């Protein structure tokens, strides 16, 4: 077993649990859709966190290139970043209940402080992971952009403005589309 395989087993498990959680929550809420009051911003965040998890998983491949040594500190740092993705994924949708109306707008604003605190941590730690593990330049798109978006997420922690929250939701969605479109990772296997 290579170091890459050993390291990514647990990382894949964390991201797999995040995706399992969000897919399960969407399915559960769909089953009781007559009692769910939808909110477009919350739905946009569901799509964004799914993209975030998948893009992060895809990005782990770059750890297989030229990395033959790992320290426990590097591993711990990476796992902490991935755990933050799991935690904000669990907050984006409420649990389906047996009765009563589930208002997704009310849920969004009831968890936004915790959600965006974790999102900001994830973005800031992503910048550090990109620098320390992936060898990205300290001042470059993969370190500066997550930091800028992290600052915007911090703004959402302290803002009650619905306009700001709508803008940050669209902004982060567009940013993740841009990150995915600019990714040039190619996974190939030679027999």
pLDDT tens-digit profile of 80-98? 999 999 999 999 999 998 8
| Burial track 98-125 (b if 16+ CB lie within 10 A, e otherwise) | eeeebbbeebbbebbeebbbbbbbbbbb
Any residues with CB less than 8 A from the CB of 42 and at least 6 apart, and which? 92, 93, 104, 105, 107, 108
Query: Who has greater pLDDT, 153 or 65?
Result: 153
Strand-pair partners of 37: 103
Residue 125 maps to a domain: yes
Query: What pLDDT digit, counting tens, does each position of 97-142 carry?
Result: 888 999 999 999 999 999 999 999 999 998 888 888 777 787 877 7
Q: Is residue 97 part of a domain?
A: yes
Domain for residue 21, yes or no?
yes
Distance CA 126, CA 53 (A): 12
28 within some domain = yes
pLDDT, average across residues 179-183: 83
3-state secondary structure of 37: strand
How many Å separate Cα 118 from the centre of its chain? 9
Query: Hey, what are 183's tokens?
Result: 């990714």
Is position 188 within any domain?
no
Place of tokens 């709508």: 166
Report yes or no: 150 and 175 within 8 Å, Cβ to Cβ: no
- pLDDT value of position 151: 94
The per-residue pLDDT for 63 is 78
Q: What is the number of domains present in the chain?
A: 1
In a domain, 189, yes or no: no
On the question of pLDDT at 66 being above 70, the answer is: no
Residue 70, pLDDT above cutoff 80: no
187 has pLDDT over 70: yes
**Angle, helix 72-91 to helix 104-132, in steps of 10 degrees:** 160
pLDDT score of 34 more than 90:
yes
Local confidence band at 191 (pLDDT 50, 70, 90 cut-offs)? low
Residue 66: φ, ψ to 5° = 60, 15
Query: Is the torsion defined by CA of 170, 148, 141, 13 positive or negative?
Result: negative
Domain annotation covers residue 187: no
Q: What is the mean pLDDT of the chain?
A: 90
Domain range for 168: 3-182
- Any domain includes 137: yes
Percentage above 90 pLDDT, the chain: 60
pLDDT of residue 68: 67
What does the block give as tokens for 125? 């730690």
């Amino acid at each position: 077993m290579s170091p890459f395989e050993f390291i990514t087993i647990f990382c894949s498990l964390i991201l797999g649990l995040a995706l399992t959680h969000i897919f399960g929550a969407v399915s559960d809420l769909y089953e009781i859709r007559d009692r769910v009051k939808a909110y477009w911003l919350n739905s946009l965040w569901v799509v964004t966190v799914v993209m975030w998890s998948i893009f992060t998983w895809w990005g782990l491949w770059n750890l297989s290139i030229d990395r033959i040594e790992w320290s426990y500190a590097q591993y711990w740092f990476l796992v902490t970043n991935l755990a933050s993705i799991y935690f904000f994924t669990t907050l984006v949708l409420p649990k389906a209940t047996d009765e009563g109306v589930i208002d997704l707008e009310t849920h969004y604003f009831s968890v936004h402080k915790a959600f965006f605190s974790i999102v900001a941590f994830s973005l800031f730690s992503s910048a550090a992971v990109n620098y320390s593990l992936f060898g990205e330049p300290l001042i470059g798109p993969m370190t500066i952009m997550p930091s800028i978006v992290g600052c915007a997420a911090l703004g959402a922690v302290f803002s009650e403005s619905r306009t700001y929250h709508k803008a940050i939701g669209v902004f982060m969605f567009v940013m993740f589309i841009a990150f995915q479109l600019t990714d040039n990772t190619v996974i190939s296997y030679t027999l």
